[in-house]
Every structure is written in structure tokens, then in C-alpha cells.
Amino acid sequence: MLSELISLILFGIATAFSPGPNNIMTSYTAFNFGFKKAIPTMLGVVTGWTILIILLQFGSVAVFQRFEIIQTIIKISGSIYLLYMAYKLSYAGHSEKKIDPKPVTFLNTFFFQFINPKSIIVGLTAISMFIDPKNFFRDSIILTVVFFFMAIGSQTAWCLMGKYMRKFATSDRFIKTFNYTMSFLLIVCVILFYV
């Protein structure tokens, strides 16, 4: 259980803190409008993400209990996706994206979670890898709590990055180091899934 918890935490760090639509929107809002205006953006992400994880868990457990092979297929597919994501992260470039010049709202980020491909894929991959249908409630609670705190941590970090660390976030060296770190954590996660 301890190795699975460590793997889940590493998985959570790598997927929550890596660049993605949620983090970019929060960073953008904080940079342009300040920390206070970014709070609704962050709350929308955290709330929407947590509800999405809960819905995905209850929807998928019935399928996994009946067809265990599906869980194995998603686990292998998810591992391949994470390795691909690690590869993409290590070679990701930096691009400035212009977004509508007003703060991103709570409702924008809340509802975005349910159509965000990264959120859905990460959620389903985590569920297939870390939830044992025989211990569904225990594993479900652990997964939800870990992902809830990862969402708070990542949103806060990207908000602060947008607000106070803009010069570091635009540095190519910083971005390369960050991307290599996230890439390495994803690879470690995949290895720990099969140990």
C-alpha cells in the first residue's frame, strides 16, 4: 500500500503541476488581474476537478467489477499515454498564448473540467491504476483526498508563478528544468505501477 501511495502522490504531482489548460488559465488570471481575481478561477478548477474525480470513480467501478480486463487495458493505455506525455513535456517549448482580456471565472473553469481531455484521461488512468474494486471505498477516499490537495497546491503554485515569478516562468532555462522534472516524475510513476 505504501508504494502505491507514493506512486499516487508522484502521479498527482506530475499531472497536477505540469503545464495544462487549468494551470495556464490560473497563471494568466493572476498575472493580469492579481491574486484576488484569480481565487474564483482556482476554486472553479479545484471544485470541478474533485467532482469529476468522484463521478468518474462511481461510474467506472461498476464496469471494472464486471470486466476486470478493461481496468488492465486502461492501465496499460494510461501508462503508454504517460510515457508519451513525459516525452512531450521534456521537449515542450514555450509559447505565449493570448486569452480574452478579462479574468477567467469560477463557472468557466468549473465546467471546463468536464470537457478537459487531460482531466478526464488523468482521472480514468488514476482510477484504473490506484483503485482496487475490492477496496473501492478506501481507495476512492484516498485518491479523492490526494487529488483534491494536489489541485489546491498546483493552482496556488501557478497563481503565484503568474503573480510573482513571471520573469522565471518566461526563462527558457526555468521551463526546460521544470519540464524535465515533470517528465522524470511521470516516468517514475509508470515504473512504480508495475513494481
Q: Span 133-151, mean pLDDT?
A: 92
Q: Span 134-155, mean pLDDT?
A: 93
| C-alpha of 169 from chain center | 19
| pLDDT of the residue at 94 | 47
| pLDDT of the residue at 64 | 65
| pLDDT of the residue at 48 | 95
Give pLDDT tens digits for 100-136.
457 778 998 898 888 777 788 888 889 888 888 788 8
Percent of the chain whose predicted confidence (pLDDT) is above 90:
26
- Residue 28 buriedness (CB in 10 A; 0-12 / 13-18 / 19+): buried
Give pLDDT tens digits for 41-99.
999 999 999 999 998 888 776 676 677 787 677 778 767 876 776 787 676 554 555 44
| pLDDT of the residue at 98 | 47
| pLDDT of the residue at 50 | 95
> 186: which residues sit within 8 A by CB, 6+ positions away?
11, 14, 15, 18, 82, 83, 85, 86, 89
Give pLDDT tens digits for 11-40.
999 889 987 778 888 888 887 788 999 999
What domains lie within the chain, and their CATH numbers?
2-193 (1.20.1250)
| pLDDT of the residue at 43 | 97
- Residue 137 buriedness (CB in 10 A; 0-12 / 13-18 / 19+): exposed
Give pLDDT tens digits for 161-181.
888 866 665 667 776 776 687
